[in-house]
Amino acid sequence: MSLTSKSIRMVLEIKDPNIIFTQDAVIEEIRGAKALVFYAELKLQPEHCPACGLASKLVRYGFERTCVLMPSYSYRPTYMKLSRQRFRCELCRTAYAITKYFEGFPLSVRQQVQTVSLDLNAGYINLVPRLFPNAKIVVDRFHIVQMVSTALNMVRIQVMKGLSKRSKEYRFMKREWKIFLKDFNEPEAIKPTYHTSIGYYETTVNLVANSLDLSPEFRAAYEVYQEIIGAVRKRDASTLAAALESYRSLGNRMDQSIKTLKKYKRQVINALRYEYSNVFLEGINGIIKKIKNTAYGYTNWNNFINRIFLERVWFRAKSSKAAA
């Protein structure tokens, strides 16, 4: 009868419950002597990367196999051959490549860099002071709006889960969800319009207000979202700072987004004080993603690069001539 992992751990005096024994002991020759060998695995995933603190970028990276001498309970020496799951942080791997690249430039040159524009990636933000000691970090405005809009969408979906799918509020929130992401002054407030989602005429503002009345937390998240996008649009640093400081926990996804913005408050405020942005690179990145999705990937690197060139230069020039 096979022994259980628990019983083997008791015999070998192992306290870690995450070590799982995959088979019964076997007799093997180790270092010129017959030994009792147990095979085990340890697959416990760490909560976060010890370097950057993020967990979402951890991926499995093979096994590390070690042979450990264990307490012997017979005349034979006893070993445990342990296969430990290794994990690699993709963010730290990218950060390492970035570090090696920029460290190829003299420090005197890197000290002349005044600003660095990037997204709210903790790994990259923490990397800047080391590479560019005198640079001010400017968080890209697009990513500020993207972070709070994603949070608001998740709060909206959370509210929808408590509604009947036949209710007019559910149908409106599901079909016309983009309205909640617009500036509050944009939706029609006076003239009723026909909404196919509910099947009758009504002002958009009234429908939005009725949806917000379903949940105080949804309304609060919507209001702080409006404050933040309004401050970003008007480049009002004081309003943005006040919105972040006055925020109180709502128990939903907006909490996480505001916490991140407050953690990097100085870098976020810089986004409204400086003109710099990486929107151009984000636009190119968006085009590249669309090309990859349309073609279901490229096996030939040169064809991929040529396609990007055509989209960025040739097709755009042709469209400009047609418009002229």
122-139 average pLDDT score: 88
**For the chain, percent of residues with pLDDT exceeding 90:** 51
pLDDT band at 317 (very low <50, low <70, confident <90, very high): low
Q: State how far the alpha carbon of 3 is from the alpha carbons of 11, 68, 262, in Å.
A: 11, 20, 53
**For the chain, percent of residues with pLDDT exceeding 70:** 93
The 10 Å CB-count burial string (b at 16+, else e) for 259-291 is ebbeebeebbbbbbeeebbbeeeeeeeeeeeeb
The string of pLDDT tens digits covering residues 205-254 is 999 999 999 999 999 999 999 999 999 999 999 999 999 999 999 999 99
Do β-strands 78-89 and 33-42 pair in parallel, antiparallel, or remain unpaired?
Answer: parallel
* Residue 142 pLDDT > 90: no
Q: State how far the alpha carbon of 194 is from the alpha carbons of 57, 173, 201, 260, 308, in Å.
A: 45, 15, 4, 39, 42
Q: What is the mean pLDDT of the chain?
A: 86
Residue 266 confidence (pLDDT):
93
47-70 average pLDDT score: 80
* Strand (E) or helix (H) holding 59: strand 58-70
Residue 25 confidence (pLDDT):
85
300-322 average pLDDT score: 72
The string of pLDDT tens digits covering residues 16-31 is 888 888 888 899 998 8
Cβ proximity of 59 and 90 under 8 Å: yes
Cβ proximity of 255 and 272 under 8 Å: no
Residue 300 confidence (pLDDT):
84
Residue 45 confidence (pLDDT):
81
Poorest-pLDDT segment among 66-75, 148-157, 236-245, 277-286 = 277-286
The CA distance from 124 to 114, in Å, is 16
